[in-house]
Amino acid sequence: MVTAHAPGKVYLFGEHAVVYGEPAIPCAVERRATVTVEERSDARLRVDAKDLQLEGFTVEYGETGGDPAVEAPNPMLEAATQYVDGAVSQARDAADAPEAGFDVTVESDIPLGAGLGSSAAVVVATIAAAASELGVDLDPREVADRAYQVEADVQDGQASRADTFCSAMGGAVRVEGDDCRTLDAPDLPFVIGYDGGSGDTGELVAGVRELRDEYDFAADTVAAIGDLVREGEALLEREDEGALTELGRLMDFDHGLLEALGVSARSLDSMVWTAREAGALGAKLTGAGGGGCIVALDATDATETALTYEAACEQVFRAELATDGVVVE
């Protein structure tokens, strides 16, 4: 039996634009998915999802996968079958053990579909744990690459490497197409507000694609996000107070660009403005949008307190930068 855990993430800058080859800077945060894997004597796969911030469930199915007979909302089935099944397939491939079966237990304190990289963390942790259970210890970069293949398959080729690379490596990372690297970054004072909902990533990405194909201004907006990421990367190399203030301003600008692309939501905008009015250096949505989470920069308690009283915010918490990526226990 092997257990592995991997962190979620917030986007400092670059969501949506990264799909078109622009750079992005996600940062791993100390909210983790933990996956325990035990090899079975047959080729079946049993998935026990104890906590995906939704009602837990258990499903067991044969080596051919398919659609298990279980009543559960689609996002839960997707997390338990498509993502986990793909991760197990990658582990089998790494160990050259195509007939290996597993009991898989998934636990997570990352809200599902909220823009914090829950699926990436589950896939990364599952690949690392299942491969280790089969006697293969994978390098984090190989875990990241294999996890990306899973997400790309599930998301019909619209995934980027950002979420999976960040979860596998930890810390702050820069992703531009296939160019993935780690960054030296300070422990930024992240405050996360969660509206209790989630957006449909596929639908939101498709919407941006349609807008970008139809209007030149939308393509220019995507490119502007890429330029903003490059400015932000330079600021991360500085450690003075002025750099942190400027990072916040860029976060505000990025949120405005994402609004223009139609991926924000009233709840997210309300939380963003509450954070700004409370004195946050900057605030923006994180992830696909349409609902889910915002991230703000504030070393004081003011933003956290203000979001507690914001009607659109169901949960607020401070999140430290996760310096460790995937960890096999």
Tally helices (H) and strands (E) across the chain: 10, 12
Residues linked to residue 4 through DSSP beta bridges, in sequence order: 35, 328
Catalytic: which of 145, 163, 254, 298?
Answer: 163
Clarify whether 163 is annotated catalytic: yes
Indicate the length of the chain as a whole number. 329
- 3 state SS of 182: strand
Q: What is the pLDDT of residues 69-101, one digit of tens each?
A: 444 445 545 545 788 899 999 999 999 999 999
Mean pLDDT to the nearest integer, 233-240: 85
Mean pLDDT to the nearest integer, 185-202: 88
Q: Is-same-fold flag (2-184; 190-319)?
A: no
- 3 state SS of 260: helix
Weakest-pLDDT range from 78-82, 245-249, 269-273: 78-82
User: CA angle, 12 as apex, 10 and 15 as ends, to 5°?
Assistant: 80
Q: What CA–CA distance (Å, rounded) separates 32 from 12?
A: 18
Task: Give the model's confidence band at 56: pLDDT under 50 very low, under 70 low, under 90 confident, else very high.
Answer: very low
Model pLDDT, residue 233 = 93
Residue with tokens 């400092």: 12
Mean pLDDT to the nearest integer, 126-149: 96
Topology of domain 190-319, CATH: Alpha-Beta Plaits (3.30.70)
Residue with tokens 């160990």: 95
**Please, are residues 298 and 275 in contact by the beta-carbon 8 Å criterion?**
yes
Model pLDDT, residue 258 = 96
Residues linked to residue 11 through DSSP beta bridges, in sequence order: 26
Say yes or no: domain 2-184 is CATH 3.30.230.10: yes
State the DSSP H helix or E strand holding residue 327, giving kind and residue range, or none if neither.
strand 327-328
Helices (H), the chain: 74-77, 84-95, 118-133, 140-154, 162-169, 201-214, 216-236, 241-260, 266-277, 302-308
In the chain, the percentage of residues whose pLDDT exceeds 90 is 68
- Which is it for strands 282-285 and 293-297: parallel, antiparallel or unpaired? antiparallel
End-to-end CA gap in the chain: 10
Enumerate the domain spans of the chain.
Answer: 2-184, 190-319
Residue with tokens 């990352």: 110
